[in-house]
Amino acid sequence: MAYLFTSESVSEGHPDKVADQISDAILDEILRQDSESKVACETLVTTGLVVVSGEIKTSGYVPVQQVARRVIERIGYTKAEYMFDSGSCGVISALHEQSADINRGVEREDPDNQGAGDQGMMFGYACRETEEYMPLPLYLSHLLLIELAAIRREGKEMTYLRPDSKSQVTLEYTDDNKPKRIHTIVISTQHDDFSKPKDKSPEAARLADHAMLAQITDDVKTILIPRVKSKLHEELHPLFDNELILHVNPTGKFVIGGPHGDTGLTGRKIIVDTYGGKGAHGGGAFSGKDSSKVDRSAAYAVRHIAKNLVAAGVADEALVQVAYAIGVAKPVGLYVNTYGTAKVNLNDGEIAAKLNELFDLRPAAIVKRFGLKNPIFEATAAYGHMGRKPYKADVTFIESGKEVLRQVEFFAWEKLDYVEAIKKSFNL
């Protein structure tokens, strides 16, 4: 029987994502100065206020106010009427030193045997629904908000847009789990109060709000959705049919938003960060954590395994789980579920055993494989940590008090660099 599946995304201006981006920007600033830093940075944002707290072990200096204000300005909170803006919000730092009890379990004389920064299980997932090997509902949810933010920054159309927004895509699947059509799209976007009532009567207020909603809805239909379709391969265009249900700002009005409308906290959008509810999630958040925290580094590692496994043709869909004990380098277990889509004459346990031989999942090996001591994390903190395109860019480091420009790789866990090794191991 055909079924529906839904995923959501939130924009860089969503209060929880503002918090994530500040936490990761602070992490990057510390790593620019000291690549061996240990960081667990949490951020809270609310009306006119940013609070940064957490534990840090570093030889570097963190200009918390400067970093937080830069991120808030980049996102677009630059007007006092938002009740949260880069120039006037308060910024409080409550950072302190990392627990020595935790540190002693992580650092080793032999760096290759660095212990896991915490216990826990992490999941990676991949499927064939998109070129990025990501679930299509989440991919579309992200793309809708990426384009909405691009329209806002261009400032030529939909000039009433404010930074906070959310999307949700419900996809109808066939009996054999293939995307059939987009059933429902929900777009909630913060906006200026651009239609004023003619007088102070409730009816005038209602008419003004209705006019705003009608304009935003029409613009989503005629500007946003065509731009999104233009970014997709033509074979996906028929998913947008005439039966598509579209909800735009379902409450009728979304002027009050961002940290003024809802307090934001680091780590509250972990499903948006990963697979939109497909596969599984171990529960740990990513942003603000350095790579010794396997919540982050190992989640990247098992996404890398799952993606390369599917790309190599071992299965059409794969879920990979790894688990650790705090202070212990080697994982306590590796699990694979191919959902019955395996193309090899092996069960999932046998597939997992082969992957265990191919991939070194000790924390230090993961860090080396993906360059996770580099300041690459602010870029991950909006629109998903998975399914992004790897790229290289120049980054400024501080070494012996001097600025040094070095090229680093971003989203290295998305590379398909183990496909041939997997094919060889599985005789494909």
Determine the distance from the C-alpha atom of residue 223 to the mean position of all C-alpha atoms in its chain, rounded to a whole number. Answer: 25
Predicted pLDDT of residue 306: 98
Strand partners, 317: 127
Predicted pLDDT of residue 408: 97
What is the rounded distance in angstroms from the CA atom of residue 191 to the CA atom of residue 120? 40
Predicted pLDDT of residue 243: 96
The model's pLDDT over 227-267, given as tens digits with 9 standing for 90+, comes to: 999 999 999 999 999 999 999 999 999 999 999 999 999 99
Residues placed in the known binding site for K(+): 42
Residues placed in the known binding site: 14, 16, 42, 55, 98, 164-166, 253-254, 262, 268-269, 285, 289, 293
What is the rounded distance in angstroms from the CA atom of residue 66 to the CA atom of residue 79? 18
What is the rounded distance in angstroms from the CA atom of residue 232 to the CA atom of residue 118? 40
Predicted pLDDT of residue 118: 82
Residues placed in the known binding site for ATP: 14, 164-166, 253-254, 262, 268-269, 285, 289
CATH topology of domain 15-107: GMP Synthetase; Chain A, domain 3 (3.30.300)
Structure tokens at 297: 């580094």
Model pTM greater than 0.85?
Answer: yes
In this structure, which amino acid lies at residue 123? Answer: F
Q: Which has more pLDDT, 115 or 35? A: 35
The model's pLDDT over 323-378, given as tens digits with 9 standing for 90+, comes to: 999 888 999 999 999 999 999 999 999 999 999 999 999 999 999 999 999 999 99
Predicted pLDDT of residue 103: 54
In the chain, residues under CATH classification 3.30.300.10 are: 3-9+136-256, 15-107, 120-127+267-281+291-425
What is the rounded distance in angstroms from the CA atom of residue 255 to the CA atom of residue 161? 10
Predicted pLDDT of residue 110: 63
Closest Cα partner for 176 from 340, 312, 286, 44?
340
Predicted pLDDT of residue 401: 84
Tell me whether strands 49-57 and 90-97 are parallel, antiparallel or unpaired: parallel
Element (H, E) at 422: helix 419-425
What is the rounded distance in angstroms from the CA atom of residue 353 to the CA atom of residue 359? 10
Residues placed in the known binding site for L-methionine: 55, 98, 262, 293
What is the rounded distance in angstroms from the CA atom of residue 63 to the CA atom of residue 77? 20
Strands in 333-337's sheet, in edge-to-edge order, are 120-127, 317-324, 333-337
For the chain, what percent of residues have pLDDT higher than 90? 91
Predicted pLDDT of residue 114: 80
Residues placed in the known binding site for Mg(2+): 16
What long-range pairs does 74-78 form, CB within 8 A, spacing at least 24?
A: 75/12, 75/13, 75/18, 75/21, 75/163, 76/13, 76/152, 76/153, 76/162, 76/163, 77/13, 77/18, 77/163, 77/258, 77/259
Q: Is the pLDDT of residue 320 over 70?
A: yes
The model's pLDDT over 133-186, given as tens digits with 9 standing for 90+, comes to: 999 999 999 999 999 999 999 999 999 999 999 999 999 999 999 999 999 999
Tell me whether strands 245-248 and 264-265 are parallel, antiparallel or unpaired: unpaired
Predicted pLDDT of residue 107: 60
Q: Is the pLDDT of residue 205 over 80?
A: yes
CATH topology of domain 3-9+136-256: GMP Synthetase; Chain A, domain 3 (3.30.300)
Residue 274 near residue 299 (C-beta atoms within 8 A): yes
Predicted pLDDT of residue 38: 94
Burial of 157 (0-12, 13-18, 19+ CB in 10 A): middle
Mean pLDDT value across the chain = 95
Determine the distance from the C-alpha atom of residue 311 to the mean position of all C-alpha atoms in its chain, rounded to a whole number. Answer: 22
Predicted pLDDT of residue 105: 53
Q: Which has more pLDDT, 62 or 372? A: 372
What is the rounded distance in angstroms from the CA atom of residue 359 to the CA atom of residue 422? 10
The model's pLDDT over 100-142, given as tens digits with 9 standing for 90+, comes to: 555 555 665 667 678 787 889 999 999 999 999 999 999 999 9
The model's pLDDT over 363-395, given as tens digits with 9 standing for 90+, comes to: 999 999 999 999 999 999 999 999 999 999 999
Predicted pLDDT of residue 400: 84
Reduced DSSP (H G I as helix, E B as strand, rest coil) percent helix, strand, coil of the chain, to 5: 35, 25, 40
Q: 120-127+267-281+291-425 architecture in CATH?
A: 2-Layer Sandwich (3.30)
